[in-house]
């Protein structure tokens, strides 16, 4: 089996999203080495640890560097560790798969047989992004054989930069989230929260519109807002602290349907800023597969796919949010709504996305081989 070496800015055991969905499926056809960003906890020389992901053939590689290592040495150490990894696995014709353009700094010297850039976010717009990120991305796009984007907004920009650019928006593991439609016991930490419930799962960071949630909660003190997910890059103290807003922390992917089952409405209160301009939230189809109506702020990719559908309503102000929620709460025709939702989701699956991407990789590799033969390389 050919090997995919993936460079990711997200850790495998963080929020389960696009990288995990795609690479766990691709591991049925490829050996997958998923390289995370380094941890600075080595007691001696720099090394890397290897952990196999249960139920898949993905191996997670974590570089371990010494605490306090000089900034200018971090790249050279990562380069050395990558070289040793390629050598120890005796890799020749391998594939590089990038989520993090910054990995170009320590991987550009190697010559993989094929390069995929799966651009799932405009990372340069995120809080604390490195000033080198755009430079690295330009180099990566110039070297990539295949450019994928995680949504239509990103595709509209990136397609002008690469001749082999394809859009693969957020998809869905329907069987997993269909479980939320069943009657089941509420998770212990959610069971005591009164109804109606409006819930969110995801990362609470600079993309989260805490003011919108706070104002809506103040307008409807008898509604309860449930927030599930880690707080990242922002001060937890800055989040609204009201009796009807409940922060339940991070949950495992397998637990999400049980929480979703106990909500009346699922919400996506994203701020409208540079960090959300190009996002394509994975949670939109996940919420819908769980049988929950969705309220979202005016994220372009959400409007493009779902905005004109009755199962997702767009609201940017507290009053718009309340109006949308009241409309959903008063809707008694749930059976017809479910039929329309299922029709919308019918052609969406991570399995189908993985298969389509695999076909593009194989086609691209065949074309490179034909080109080599033509030019006697």
Secondary structure (H, E, C), 275-322 = HHCCCCCCHHHHHHHCCCCEEECCCHHHHHHHHCCCCEEECCCHHHHH
Task: List Cα–Cα distances, 320 to 110, 144, 263, 298, in angstroms.
Answer: 52, 43, 20, 11
Segment 282-286 mean pLDDT: 95
Residue ranges and CATH numbers for the domains of the chain are 3-171+349-374 (3.40.50.2000), 174-345 (3.40.50.2000)
204 HSE (CA, 13 A, CB side) = 25
Segment 34-51 mean pLDDT: 96
pLDDT band at 374; cut points 50, 70, 90 = confident
pLDDT at 170 over 90: no
pLDDT band at 336; cut points 50, 70, 90 = confident
Q: What is the pLDDT of residues 124-139, one digit of tens each?
A: 988 888 999 999 999 9
Per-residue model confidence (pLDDT) at position 127: 83
pLDDT band at 377; cut points 50, 70, 90 = low
H helices of the chain, in order, are 18-26, 71-88, 104-107, 133-143, 152-158, 174-178, 188-191, 210-219, 256-261, 283-289, 300-302, 318-329, 334-345, 350-374
* Maximum C-alpha span of the chain: 73
- The chain-wide mean pLDDT, for the chain, equals 95
Q: What is the pLDDT of residues 65-109, one digit of tens each?
A: 999 999 889 999 999 999 999 999 999 989 999 999 999 999 999
What's the chain's length in residues? 377
pLDDT at 296 over 90: yes
User: Closest Cα partner for 155 from 169, 175, 141?
Assistant: 169
Percent of the chain with pLDDT over 90: 89
Question: What does the alpha-carbon distance between residue 283 and residue 336 come to, in Å, rounded to a whole number?
Answer: 22
pLDDT band at 375; cut points 50, 70, 90 = confident
Per-residue model confidence (pLDDT) at position 371: 87
């Amino acid at each position: 089996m050919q090997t995919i070496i993936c460079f990711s800015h997200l850790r495998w055991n963080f929020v389960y999203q696009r990288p995990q969905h795609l690479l766990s499926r691709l591991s049925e056809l490829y050996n997958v080495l998923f390289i995370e960003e380094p941890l600075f906890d080595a007691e001696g020389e720099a090394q890397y640890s290897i952990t196999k992901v249960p139920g898949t053939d993905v191996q997670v590689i974590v570089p371990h560097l010494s605490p306090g290592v000089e900034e200018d040495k971090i790249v050279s150490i990562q380069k050395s560790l990558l070289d040793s990894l390629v050598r120890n696995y005796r890799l020749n014709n391998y594939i590089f798969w990038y989520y993090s353009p910054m990995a170009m700094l320590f991987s550009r010297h190697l010559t993989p047989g094929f390069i995929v850039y799966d651009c799932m976010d405009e990372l340069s717009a995120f809080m604390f992004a490195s000033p080198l990120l755009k430079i690295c991305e330009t180099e990566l796009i110039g070297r990539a054989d295949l450019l994928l984007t995680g949504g239509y907004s990103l595709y509209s920009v990136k397609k002008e930069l690469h001749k082999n650019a394809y859009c693969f928006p957020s998809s869905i593991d329907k069987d997993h989230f269909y479980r939320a439609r069943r009657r089941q016991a509420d998770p212990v930490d959610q069971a005591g929260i009164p109804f109606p419930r409006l819930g969110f799962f995801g990362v609470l960071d600079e993309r989260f519109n805490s003011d919108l949630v706070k104002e809506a909660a103040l307008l409807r003190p008898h509604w309860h807002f449930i927030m599930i997910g880690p707080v990242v890059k922002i001060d937890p103290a800055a989040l609204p602290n009201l009796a009807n807003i409940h922060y339940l922390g991070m949950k495992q992917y397998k637990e999400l349907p049980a929480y979703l089952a106990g909500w009346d409405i699922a919400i996506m209160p994203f701020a409208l800023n540079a960090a959300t301009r190009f996002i394509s939230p994975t949670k939109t189809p996940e919420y819908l597969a769980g049988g929950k109506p969705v309220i979202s702020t005016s994220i372009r990719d959400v409007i493009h796919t779902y905005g004109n559908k009755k199962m997702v309503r767009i609201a940017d102000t507290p009053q718009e949010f309340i109006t949308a929620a009241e409309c959903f709460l008063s809707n008694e025709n749930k059976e017809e709504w479910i039929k329309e939702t299922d029709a919308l989701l019918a052609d969406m699956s991570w399995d189908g996305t993985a298969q389509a991407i695999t076909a593009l990789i194989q086609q691209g590799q065949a074309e490179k081989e034909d080109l080599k033969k033509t030019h006697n390389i």
